Structure 1
Amino acid sequence: MSLVIAFIGSQGAVMAGDMREILFLGDASCREALEAELYDGRIVTDDALRRRAAEIGIGVHVRDTKTKVAERDGILVGEVGETEAGIVRKRRLYASQGNYAIADFEGDSMTLVSKGTGSTFTVLGNAVAKEIANRCIREAWKGGGMAEAVRTIVFTMQTAARTTASVSNEYLLVQTPHRKDVVTVLEKDAARAAAGRGEESGSCSG
């Protein structure tokens, strides 16, 4: 997991996602230990991640090319995910003007986690990324409009990249002014997952 953040407002929605994908190779218990250190904030820089991995004999491959946010028919879609014992789990955020939904996908099943309306920020990611994001939002957000929401999200993505090696410096930002019922796209993704055809999202896990 890394970081996806969205603002859902009365004038539209905006969403950003980092582009980091990390693959760990080696003993399962050592991988779990390294992931724990990464996701609780003990590993801040890329160099520190590589050093710590070498110390415990774990191979690490880092790519900053993963697309995790996209716009589909006026609805923004962002996704974070993880693979454990060959099982891929994804959490997906759908956002448009005034409404949003969060759903979990695993295999051919979808579980609706939450949905809501009104103006709000929503964050997906690992523990330290979410902690950083929520702190940045409290610090930067003064209750303004879309321009301030964009500035807050940019500030958050840049701060997270400096604070944890689980988030890349590179990120994508997408916006929509449209008001669409996010459940329409969510239901399409659920149907595709149930049919075993994957989800046509344009966003990917990381």
Structure 2
Amino acid sequence: MSLIIAYVGKKGCVMASDKRKIGYFGDKKNLATLEEELYSGSIDNDEDFLTRANELGISIKITDDANKLKIIGNTIRGEVSTKGTMETRRRRIYGTTNGYQIIELLGSDTESRKAGSGGVIIFGNDYAKRMAETLIKREWKASQSLRYMGEIFKGILEEVASKTPTVGNKIDVLMRQPKFDKSAAQKHLDVTIDHDIKVLIKFRQDLTERLVQQNLEIEMASKIISKGDIGKVVDIDGNMLFVQLNNKTQAVDGNWKQLAGPGQNVLMFTDSDNVKTGDKVVIENEDLCLKKDKSSLSCDIILCSL
């Protein structure tokens, strides 16, 4: 659902991209029908797209705020991506003066890497690409400045967007003009791309860790005890009580790390002067208390079931 047009040459690099992103949800067979009609060009505007999706029972969300272009040092990166059930597939072009590289990524693993020194490169679905190629042939002049090329690309994207919902009418245009010969360009691209992929790997690792932590928090939160037996008092020291947990209870800290397991002792506090060893400790109506007289207790731990 993207269209990126890039020029790379001795003058520098200019890229233009739309900002459209479309999310789908619905029956796979009907979704395939909708995509076939969309990519064949039989649906030519957003209103008809929404109407046809509704007829097929497909829920769609259209946004025009995706940033598909990014400047990284002396390089411009353009990216189109497709989210699968397990991994995101990315296709990237990195361009600078006198050089570009096209990278195919599955997750953060590089599947292919191709280099070139110049030309016009187009990323997009076949229908949008064919329209863009026809318009470029009509408008292109090699003597044009980078800025003027950017204006031409912007106009082409807007015209394509008027004929297919796969491309949005909000456009980004970026330029870079460092002084590189072909050899220096590829060396610079190698360093830039290797670092950028390392950043992606680190991002994915951090994301995975956050998701694991979130899943842990959800799991542990569901185990927090709001009602039931906790254990019994086994020792008393003033207002401090040592409570032995029963065989179904554990104590954890705010990071869900276990501090005490079944049969182990935890520290609790009370204002009551009527506590004896052997007294049962319970949670009733989400309040921690002694079972015999409902005297309130407090602690700085989280009590969970196993």
The CA deviation at 1:42 is 1.8
Aligned residues: percent identity?
28
Which residue is equivalent to 1:2?
2
Which residue is equivalent to 2:194?
187
Which residue is equivalent to 2:230?
none
The CA deviation at 1:149 is 1.9
Which residue is equivalent to 2:117?
117
Residues 145-165 of structure 1: CA distance to partner in whole angstroms, max 9, x if unpaired?
324422321221111111110
The CA deviation at 1:9 is 1.8
Give the direction of change, closer, same or farther, for the CA distance of 1:30–1:113 in structure 2 (3 Å limit): farther
CA distance in 2, matches of 1:55, 1:126: 23
Which residue is equivalent to 2:142?
143
Which residue is equivalent to 1:65?
65
The CA deviation at 1:81 is 1.2
Query: What amino acid is the match of 2:136?
Result: I
When structure 1 is superposed on structure 2, of 154-163 and 70-79 the one drifting more is 154-163
Query: What amino acid is the match of 1:191?
Result: K
The CA deviation at 1:85 is 2.8
CA distance in 1, matches of 2:23, 2:8: 32
Per the alignment, in what secondary structure is the counterpart of residue 94 of structure 1? Answer: strand
Which residue is equivalent to 1:48?
48
Residues 27-84 of structure 1: CA distance to partner in whole angstroms, max 9, x if unpaired?
1121122122222322110001001101111011100010000111010000011123
Structure 1 stretches of 4+ moved >4 Å: none
When structure 1 is superposed on structure 2, of 69-78 and 152-161 the one drifting more is 152-161
Which residue is equivalent to 1:171?
171
CA distance in 1, matches of 2:204, 2:100: 21
CA distance in 2, matches of 1:127, 1:176: 27
Give 5+ residue unaligned stretches, structure 1. Answer: 200-206
Query: What amino acid is the match of 2:121?
Result: T
Give the direction of change, closer, same or farther, for the CA distance of 1:27–1:192 in structure 2 (3 Å limit): same
Contact in 1 for aligned 2:16/2:150 (Cα 8 Å): no
The structure number with the bigger radius of gyration is 2
Per the alignment, in what secondary structure is the counterpart of residue 173 of structure 2? Answer: strand
CA distance in 1, matches of 2:193, 2:8: 16
Query: What amino acid is the match of 1:29?
Result: K
Per the alignment, in what secondary structure is the counterpart of residue 129 of structure 1? Answer: helix
* Aligned alpha-carbon RMSD (Å): 1.8
Which residue is equivalent to 2:304?
none
CA distance in 2, matches of 1:41, 1:188: 39
The CA deviation at 1:196 is 5.2
Give the direction of change, closer, same or farther, for the CA distance of 1:104–1:34 in structure 2 (3 Å limit): same
Give the direction of change, closer, same or farther, for the CA distance of 1:128–1:65 in structure 2 (3 Å limit): same
CA distance in 1, matches of 2:138, 2:152: 9
Which residue is equivalent to 1:30?
30
1:132 maps onto 2:151 in alignment = no
Contact in 1 for aligned 2:90/2:107 (Cα 8 Å): no
Query: What amino acid is the match of 1:104?
Result: E
> With CA pairs under 8 Å and 6+ residues apart, which has the higher RCO, 1 or 2?
1
Per the alignment, in what secondary structure is the counterpart of residue 182 of structure 1? Answer: helix
Contact in 1 for aligned 2:123/2:129 (Cα 8 Å): yes
Which residue is equivalent to 2:90?
90
CA distance in 1, matches of 2:113, 2:31: 28
The CA deviation at 1:198 is 3.9
Contact in 2 for aligned 1:2/1:167 (Cα 8 Å): yes
Residues 123-165 of structure 1: CA distance to partner in whole angstroms, max 9, x if unpaired?
1111112111111111110222324422321221111111110
CA distance in 2, matches of 1:43, 1:134: 20
